[in-house]
Amino acid sequence: MQVFMIPKFHNEPFTDFTLAANQEGMKAALAKVRGELGQKYPLVIGSDKIETQDQLVSTNPAKPKEVIGSFSKANTDLAEQAMRTALASFESWKKVCHKERARYLFRAAALMRKRKFELCSWLILEIGKSWAEADGDVAEAIDFCEYYGREMLRLGAPQPVTILPGEETELYYIPLGVGLVVPPWNFPFAILVGMTMASVVAGNTVILKPSSETPAIAYQLIKIMEEIGLPKGVINFLPGPGASVGDYLVAHPKTRYIAFTGSKEVGLRINEMAAKPQPGQLWIKRVVAEMGGKDSIIVDKETDLDAAADGVVASAFGFQGQKCSACSRAIIHKDVYDAMVKKIVDRTKALKMGSPEERQHNYGPVSSKSAYESILSYIKIAESEGKIECGGESKSSTMDGGFYIEPTVVSGVGPQARIAQEEIFGPVLAIIKADDFSHALEIANNTEFGLTGAVYSNNRDHLERARREFHVGNLYLNRKCTGAMVGAHPFGGFNMSGTDSKAGGPDYILLFTQGKSVAEKF
For residues 256 and 179, is the Cβ–Cβ distance under 8 A? Answer: yes
Query: Annotated catalytic sites, by residue?
Result: 290, 324
| Residues 225/227/228/230 CA torsion (nearest 10 deg) | 50
SS (H, E, C) 212-280: CCCHHHHHHHHHHHHHCCCCCCCEEECCCCHHHHHHHHHHCCCEEEEEEECCHHHHHHHHHHHHCCCCC
CA angle 475, 317, 456 (to 5 degrees): 35
SS (H, E, C) 420-454: HHCCCCCCEEEEEEECCHHHHHHHHCCCCEECEEE
CA distance 326 to 420: 13
**CB-based contacts of 493: which residues, under 8 Å, 6+ apart?**
290, 291, 293, 324, 449, 450, 451, 452, 472, 473, 474, 500
Residue 395, burial from CB neighbour count under 10 angstroms (0-12, 13-18, 19+): middle
Residue 400, burial from CB neighbour count under 10 angstroms (0-12, 13-18, 19+): middle
Count each helix (H run) and each strand (E run) in the chain, helices first: 15, 21
How far the first Cα of the chain sits from its last, in Å, is 28
CA distance 5 to 2: 7
Q: How far is CA 118 from CA 28, 35, 135, 167, 213, in A?
A: 9, 12, 10, 55, 19
CB neighbours of residue 460 within 10 Å: 9
For residues 55 and 215, is the Cβ–Cβ distance under 8 A? Answer: no
Q: Closest Cα partner for 423 from 351, 504, 493?
A: 493
CA distance 339 to 422: 27
| Residues 497/372/403/37 CA torsion (nearest 10 deg) | 60
